Amino acid sequence: MIKDSNVIILKSLRDYKLRLLFSGRIKKMPRIKTIEWKENSVVIVDQTKLPLELHYETIDTIESMYDAIKVLKVRGAPAIGIAAAFGIYLGIRGFPESGSSQEFIENLNSKATYLAGSRPTAVNLFWALERINRTGVQSIENGASIKETKEKILDEAIEILEEDRRTGRAIGEAGLELLKGKKTILTHCNAGGLATAEYGTALAPVYVGAEQGIIFNVYADETRPLLQGARITAFELSQAGIPVTLICDNMAASVMAGGRIDAVIVGADRITSNGDTANKIGTYGVALLARAHGIPFYVAAPFSTFDLSLHTGKEIPIEERGPEEVTCGFGKQTAPSGVKVYNPAFDVTPSHLISAFITDKGVITPPYERNLAEVLGKKG
């Protein structure tokens, strides 16, 4: 049922997909396109409206892209990187083609610096900005015109989007092999298709498995205070016909103690050279619980999430968000006025609690300091 050109009423869409799935007419569920380049603009799913509306918003200025990243309309480390890449193009496409090359490079640098201020923790943001910036500078240095350089920057942004689709699929295949014999997983926050271009990271093995007739049962932490697990993970898995059970964050220990969980898989926003991993707040607690109950704890991430220039998690900048997300979440006040609030968006899970990394370059096991550098081909 279509409400207007941008909004889909979700219950009808879900029921239609489930009928198709269980009738055996399709094997591959269509995934929501989180972000795409369409008609000379960026089209994103506004994830602040989930789970009630699947609303597509058109972004055609760098300022709108900055806002979309800042207020979490687009979220998830890989998706943020893609958004930033397109954001730079939106920022420089109006630069006069008769301008000087030096002025163009200065403008390019300033746009990258501007977008870098949107969120500090997810390294994919900075990775994508640096890659786009390098593409533009090298193009100018090689004698290309400003018009040609703009086209190269757009092509590179599109390639980052397409790469993410491919890496998500590769993560899914690697993770599926690792999960042989396991039936039920727990995940925290959202590291599915809505955090990336298509397959996701932590949920990629679930989707690849479904395509092959292997169905996992997924427990999703609600993920306070913004409820990405409840609003987004439960939503996208339900849309895909994947069995999902939503639990409050403080139920994870009880669920594990009851023998309901075979493995935990989460995504990541930044991973250091020793394997310490920043992810949504609450991940560290889940890792401790998994260790206490003898359950493997896996981190799924593309190579762009690894920051081997940092040695340990203590060096990762942790974003702190406004107190209203805790005291007045979704418009309802749930705490006394004026109470002090500490609201970090991420925490760091020490590498010794991580059983393995599932990447687009394969599964990486300890010792991480050596194996990450070897597999990723970096010596940082």
Q: What is the pLDDT of residue 16?
A: 38
| Neighbour tally for 323: CB within 10 Å | 16
Q: Are 156 and 40 in the same domain?
A: yes
Domain stop point among 111, 133, 166: 166
Distances (CA, A) of 204 to 160, 194, 257, 370: 18, 11, 26, 26
Q: What is the pLDDT of residue 378?
A: 53
More confident residue, 95 or 31: 95
* CA atoms in the 13 A half-sphere facing the CB of 285: 14
Of the candidates 256, 214, 206, the one whose C-alpha atom is nearest the C-alpha of residue 234 is 206
Q: Are 139 and 184 in the same domain?
A: no
Q: Are 74 and 176 in the same domain?
A: no
Alpha helices in the chain (DSSP H): 10-23, 62-70, 77-92, 101-116, 123-141, 146-178, 204-211, 228, 234-239, 252-257, 283-292, 324-327, 368-376
Q: Are 26 and 155 in the same domain?
A: yes
Q: Are 250 and 359 in the same domain?
A: yes
Task: Identify whether 306 is part of a domain.
Answer: yes
Tokens representing 234? 């439960």
Q: What is the pLDDT of residue 1?
A: 33
Q: Are 299 and 347 in the same domain?
A: yes
Task: Identify whether 83 is part of a domain.
Answer: yes
- Per-residue pLDDT band for 53 (boundaries 50, 70, 90) equals very high
Strand partners, 57: 44
Which phi and psi angles does 243 have, rounded to 5°? -60, 125
* CA atoms in the 13 A half-sphere facing the CB of 302: 32
**CATH code, 153:** 1.20.120.420
Q: Please give the tally of structural domains in the chain.
A: 2
Of the candidates 325, 313, 347, 203, the one whose C-alpha atom is nearest the C-alpha of residue 263 is 203
Q: What share of the chain is helix, strand, coil (3-state, %, to 5)?
A: 45, 15, 35
Q: Which structural domain, as residue segments, surrounds residue 146?
A: 7-166
Task: Identify whether 68 is part of a domain.
Answer: yes
Gyration radius (Cα) of the chain, Å: 21
Q: Are 155 and 92 in the same domain?
A: yes
Task: Identify whether 2 is part of a domain.
Answer: no
Name the burial class of residue 45, with classes exposed (0-12), middle (13-18) and buried (19+) by CB atoms within 10 angstroms of its CB. Answer: buried
Region of 38 please: left (phi>0), alpha (psi -120 to 50) or beta.
beta
Task: Identify whether 176 is part of a domain.
Answer: yes
- Indicate the residue type of 106: E
pLDDT (average), residues 49-71: 96
Q: Are 77 and 136 in the same domain?
A: yes
Strands in 277-280's sheet, in edge-to-edge order, are 306-307, 270-272, 277-280, 346-349
Local structure of residue 159 (DSSP, 8 states): H
pLDDT (average), residues 9-33: 47
Tell me whether the omega of the peptide bond preceding residue 225 falls within 30 degrees of 0, making it cis: yes
Strand partners, 297: 264
- Per-residue pLDDT band for 12 (boundaries 50, 70, 90) equals very low
Torsion of CA 239, 242, 248, 252, to 10 degrees: -160
Q: What is the pLDDT of residue 376?
A: 84
Q: Are 308 and 354 in the same domain?
A: yes
Q: Are 179 and 155 in the same domain?
A: no
Rounded to whole angstroms, the Cα distance separating 21 from 3 reads 24
Tokens representing 302? 């593309």
Q: What is the pLDDT of residue 191?
A: 96
SS3 246: strand
- Indicate the residue type of 194: L
Name the burial class of residue 85, with classes exposed (0-12), middle (13-18) and buried (19+) by CB atoms within 10 angstroms of its CB. Answer: buried
Q: What is the pLDDT of residue 33?
A: 87
Rounded to whole angstroms, the Cα distance separating 203 from 205 reads 6
pLDDT (average), residues 154-182: 96
Domain stop point among 139, 166, 193: 166
Q: Are 120 and 37 in the same domain?
A: yes
Q: Are 105 and 246 in the same domain?
A: no
Model confidence at 18: pLDDT above 50: no
How do residues 27-52 score in pLDDT, each as one tens digit?
455 568 899 999 999 999 999 999 99
Query: Which active-site residues does the annotation give?
Result: 269
Name the burial class of residue 330, with classes exposed (0-12), middle (13-18) and buried (19+) by CB atoms within 10 angstroms of its CB. Answer: exposed
How do residues 201-235 score in pLDDT, each as one tens digit?
999 999 999 999 999 999 999 999 999 999 999 99
SS3 304: helix
**CATH code, 181:** 3.40.50.10470
Distances (CA, A) of 313 to 323, 356, 369: 24, 17, 13
Rounded to whole angstroms, the Cα distance separating 244 from 104 reads 49
Domain stop point among 121, 151, 166: 166
pTM summary value: 0.87
